[in-house]
Chains A and B, each alone.
Chain A
Amino acid sequence: MVRVLIGDDHEVIRRGLRQMIERRNGWTVCGEAASGAEVERLAAELAPDVVILDVSMPSTDSVEVTRRLRAAHPATEILIFTMHEGEEMIRALIGAGARGYLLKSDPTTQVYAAIESLAEHKPYFTPKVSEALREAFLKTIPESGGKTPPTLLSAREREIIQLLAESKSNKEVATKLGISVKTVETHRATIMRKLGVSSVVELVHYAVRNKIISP
């Protein structure tokens, strides 16, 4: 028996998840919560195997909720279920102990696969999230100098992302930062590689998602 607690402030989403889950033999929804506080209360009361957690519930810090759930109930797995989050948010949630990450746009088969994995205490990440996870993992491997960079992107790279997303050309970026165009080109290539993006369009999406610029 797999017992699932659903935490989402939208009733329509809870309803859809409940229908999906209860169609499977041996799976049951043991509770529904509409806020982070309710999730914590019900998790303590019901000891579910898996908590499906929406990260955009009102007045809820989902990173903190995840951290506290993991500390209080180590046997309960947390599956993040979200519209789309910035890469930084994904890393914070994984750092807080979430072991599954699913997008609301993922097909039903992936919802099943995610719950199945977590019920066996195996992590599950949707392909897009796996990429962010890989980057986060890579940063934990010390570089040749032995120092671990504090974040995926350097401060200079972030600065350049912002300027590029604000439509500045390589030349304008160079002038603004007092560096050569060639250096900007190198930074730009590194940024694209690190973020796994291949166009300025994707770069702007990244910048908006991660609140580097407002749209």
Chain B
Amino acid sequence: MTNLIRAEMYKLQRNKTFWVILLTVTGLSALLHYLVLIGWWQMQGTSFDAAGLSELNALSTFTVPLFFNLIVSTLAGFFISIEFSQSGIIKNQVISGNKRSHIFMAKFLIFSLGAIVATILIPLVTAIILLFLTGHGDILDTSNLIYLGRSYGLYIVQFLGYTAIIFILAIITDDSGKTIIISILFTIVMYAVEKLSMPPFIEVIYENSIFYQFTEVFKFTMTNGEIIKSILIGIITIIIITLCGVFIFNRKEIK
């Protein structure tokens, strides 16, 4: 499987869409953080505000599923789905004599890595750089660093569950456009579930899903029980979705 991971890495490094996303996110992130830091954009009521890190308020934009889905689904469409449609490159991979489950896992790992870099790492790094450049570096004291480490650690676990969902979608649809559109519809539905009044059993399911955890993990204080629950929700989601994905991919006929 190491071979497959290396091959996927090689492909990601040469994927135009990935670089366009990186540049766009870097530019956008720098702009948003700058606007917040100079006080032009007054954001209030964010988790970072509550943690006393209002200088990092722009980061909350990148943790909203409706927003980060645009990045993740675009990458899924143009890094994963495109291999099934336009060029049929997936054929070569399946013919190469590697197990389909290994092909699936290698693709999932590198796709998730790309999505984490674009959606989490770049906004965080640009935020930290701008904090120092604008003379706010002192807010990153030990307790705040622990908060950021804990929040983003948990957030990444939930985020991997989300990339697994979008990854399966990309494999099922075989088409970049469909992947992006269906994932947008999916996040809108999840947003509606969050905002609208729903039957109790749906609310229970939602509150035990990664979508609820996307905001929960940024709470300034979390009990040990809440942290364990969050980790379990994330890991169980990743395992279930990945197993479903391997099952689907193992039975998928390549056109």
Instruction: Please determine whether chains A and B interact with each other in the same assembly.
Output: no
Which B residues form the contact surface with A (CB < 8 A)?
A: none
